[in-house]
Structure 1
Amino acid sequence: MEKSLPSIINTSMGPIEYLDTGSGPAILCIHGAMGGYDQSITLAKTIGAPGYRYIAVSRPGYLGTPLSSGLTPEEQADLLAKLLDALQVKEVIVMAISGGGPSAMQFALRHNKRCQKLILCSTVGSPAANKIPMSFHVFTRLARIKPLVRLLKRKTEANLEQSMSKSISDPEILKKTLHNTEVMELFKVVLLGSFDRMADRVAGTKNDIRISGQFTCQYESITVPTLIVHGSKDPLVPFEHHGKILAESIPGAKLCLLEGGEHVAIFTHRNQVQKAVKDFLNQTIL
């Protein structure tokens, strides 16, 4: 998957930033909180398969896409459709992680004929009990102090195991992940990449927290083939309240349950996820 620079397209709903790479059937990649096109393409590199064209976006409030381009999941879904119009892409497979789930599901509902398949990794399936903590408000101010952000990035990189242990609590899974060179290169893009242009990721993250606290969806009306990927021990988006609900509510949805997996399970359980995604992509749409 060759590396290239992102582009920005001005749509009738506003600008949207994206990275377009590869060739073949199109897969639209949608990042989560503190993300951007860089994390969308990392999602593709982590669990995607060769032989596809990947369109990795920055959702509203992230990097080069202003929040005004789409505040709600519905608006974000329509913005994605506008992007596809501009790229002259008729149909896509949609792959989303974490906070990218609501807009992905709305795309499957609102643009059903353009959504061939839907892959949801660690995404919300019911209103989350998340309130914006005071610490986040402090963080949003600190994120604008570039020397401090650079210092935090250096400290995180210097204490990588300690930093990762906050996301991977199981010592054995952590050790295995640390010794997987390929996975670590991908994980570091997410862990350290969020420090780059951090201030440009804050508005979208704040909006995502707001959305997750009130998100509901007509899951039973999603008719496209769907794969749910979720860790059994996800502390941020618990399986029982999210992944399980999605798997039981979306007609015909397939579930890839990652035993012991937490919110970063696509990295810690990468082989299992890659196989599930590959098998799902290879299935013929009836």
Structure 2
Amino acid sequence: MRKRRVVKIVVWVLAVLVGVPAAGIAALLLWDGGIDTDPRRELTRGVQINLRTVTTRLGPVEYDLYGTEGPVLLSLHGGLGGADQGRLFASWLQEDGFRVLSPSRPGYLGTPLDSGRTHEEQADLLAALLDELGIDRVGVLAVSAGSPVGYTFAARHPDRVWGLVSVGGVSKPQPGGAGSSLRRAFLTTVGQKLTLLTAKVSFETIVSGTLEETSSFTEEQQAERVSYIVNTPHVRTFFEAMFTTTFPYPERWPGTDNDAAQARRGALPLERITTPTLLIHGRQDGDVPFDHGEFAAERIPGARRHWMEHEDHLGFWLSPEASQVQAVARAFLREHAPGD
């Protein structure tokens, strides 16, 4: 998920703040933002995390493991994410007999960047995590900036992966960095507070600003989607939970910055993937363009594809058709999950 929207969203707040007394600005700086950072907090109703850290042979890894029985699904979060985001993004599977393993990738939350910078190092770190937890094989749900690691893991450790689902995944080198100096300025404690203040004053502004970055919707499409998210209780609740999994910025920025640096490197080992693979991508994805889905589909042998015709980067979770698309992914995972 990109960071440009932070600047756009925050412009609204800055306009409000013009003329605010100095005492009001001081109060903003002293405000803690109301962020719940409890490692055992409830993300949304029925979705609770229990973050722990284990020291593997390759370095420390923070993770959440939901469930006690069933095949394990490894959920790899996107940019500005962490184990909490991975857990949330896989929550649609939690009542389907799967265990869900959600690690914070290096540079996110409690996993230090030194545990693995490159895609290869992160893939090997995942294998080391499975070893430490006594888990033999996993299915993989890789999202957005987490997909390059998912692809690399499947290619380097094919004996550890029984199925791979990539949603809106980055699949080829991307030029540029994680953001300009202006954007970086807003990805600070002050920028974070401004964004949180905007959410409290105008939730619709946050939703609209997000869609400007995650979609190539027309104005009419965007207005319809904003209305759907804001006025559909379970979707709004999911969006609000997703929004919280990008804070605090300082604990997620090192990994986000590293993801951008790694995205400028050479080609991913897509042709070497032998794992059953399902690619899901929205044709109106404004964050990771649709051609990333096509690029992966052309190179991963036997890959299945499910293109969301009128969806953006978050349509898998936030669209009116989300449950149908999730059903496709669920059926794929059930088909390839190992038996008892």
Per the TM superposition, whether the score is higher than 0.5 is yes
**2:225 counterpart SS class:** helix
2:54 corresponds to:
9
For residues 211 and 121 of structure 1, the distance between their equivalents in structure 2, rounded to whole angstroms, comes to 19
Instruction: Please tell me whether residue 217 in structure 1 is matched to residue 268 in structure 2.
Output: yes
Offset of 1:4 from its aligned partner?
A: 3.7
Pairing partner for 1:178 from 194, 218, 230: 230
For residues 162 and 298 of structure 2, the distance between their equivalents in structure 1, rounded to whole angstroms, comes to 20
Instruction: Please tell me whether residue 77 in structure 1 is matched to residue 77 in structure 2.
Output: no
For residues 97 and 200 of structure 1, the distance between their equivalents in structure 2, rounded to whole angstroms, comes to 19
CA contact (8 A) 1:49 1:278 kept: no
Larger radius of gyration: 2
Q: AA paired with 2:225? A: I
For residues 208 and 278 of structure 2, the distance between their equivalents in structure 1, rounded to whole angstroms, comes to 28
**2:100 counterpart SS class:** strand
Pairing partner for 1:257 from 282, 307, 331: 307
For residues 151 and 174 of structure 1, the distance between their equivalents in structure 2, rounded to whole angstroms, comes to 21
Offset of 1:180 from its aligned partner?
A: 2.4
CA contact (8 A) 2:72 2:137 kept: yes
After TM superposition, the structure 1 = structure 2 runs for residues 124-203 of structure 1, keeping only pairs within 5 Å, are: 124-132=170-178, 133-140=180-187, 143-145=188-190, 149-168=192-211, 169=217, 170-195=222-247, 197-203=248-254
Pairing partner for 2:80 from 34, 39, 46: 34
Instruction: Please tell me whether residue 113 in structure 1 is matched to residue 159 in structure 2.
Output: yes
For residues 159-179 of structure 1, the C-alpha deviation after alignment (integer angstroms, 9 at most, x for no partner) is 221211123342222222323
Instruction: Please tell me whether residue 226 in structure 1 is matched to residue 277 in structure 2.
Output: yes
Q: AA paired with 2:142? A: A
Percent identity of equivalent pairs: 35
For residues 47 and 260 of structure 1, the distance between their equivalents in structure 2, rounded to whole angstroms, comes to 24
For residues 110 and 177 of structure 2, the distance between their equivalents in structure 1, rounded to whole angstroms, comes to 26
For residues 191 and 45 of structure 1, the distance between their equivalents in structure 2, rounded to whole angstroms, comes to 15
* Distance 1:4-1:205 versus aligned 2 partners, 3 A rule: closer
Instruction: Please tell me whether residue 266 in structure 1 is matched to residue 313 in structure 2.
Output: no
**1:32 counterpart SS class:** coil
CA contact (8 A) 2:278 2:303 kept: yes
CA contact (8 A) 1:47 1:266 kept: no
Offset of 1:285 from its aligned partner?
A: 7.1
Q: AA paired with 2:332? A: F
Offset of 1:211 from its aligned partner?
A: 1.4
CA contact (8 A) 1:25 1:92 kept: yes
For residues 336 and 255 of structure 2, the distance between their equivalents in structure 1, rounded to whole angstroms, comes to 36
Q: AA paired with 1:158? A: V
For residues 326 and 94 of structure 2, the distance between their equivalents in structure 1, rounded to whole angstroms, comes to 7
CA contact (8 A) 2:75 2:86 kept: yes
CA contact (8 A) 2:47 2:91 kept: no
CA contact (8 A) 1:261 1:268 kept: no
- TM-score, normalisation: structure 1: 0.91
Q: AA paired with 1:205? A: T
Moved more, 180-189 or 33-42: 180-189
Offset of 1:47 from its aligned partner?
A: 6.0
For residues 284 and 302 of structure 2, the distance between their equivalents in structure 1, rounded to whole angstroms, comes to 24
Pairing partner for 2:113 from 63, 67, 74: 67
* Distance 1:160-1:74 versus aligned 2 partners, 3 A rule: same
Offset of 1:124 from its aligned partner?
A: 0.9
For residues 201 and 91 of structure 2, the distance between their equivalents in structure 1, rounded to whole angstroms, comes to 25
For residues 73 and 336 of structure 2, the distance between their equivalents in structure 1, rounded to whole angstroms, comes to 16
**2:311 counterpart SS class:** coil
How many residues get paired? 280
For residues 119-178 of structure 1, the C-alpha deviation after alignment (integer angstroms, 9 at most, x for no partner) is 1111111111333422233234xx245xx5334313224322121112334222222232
Offset of 1:245 from its aligned partner?
A: 0.8
**1:184 counterpart SS class:** helix
Instruction: Please tell me whether residue 55 in structure 1 is matched to residue 107 in structure 2.
Output: no
**2:301 counterpart SS class:** coil
5+ residue gaps, structure 2, are 1-45, 212-216
Moved more, 269-278 or 127-136: 127-136
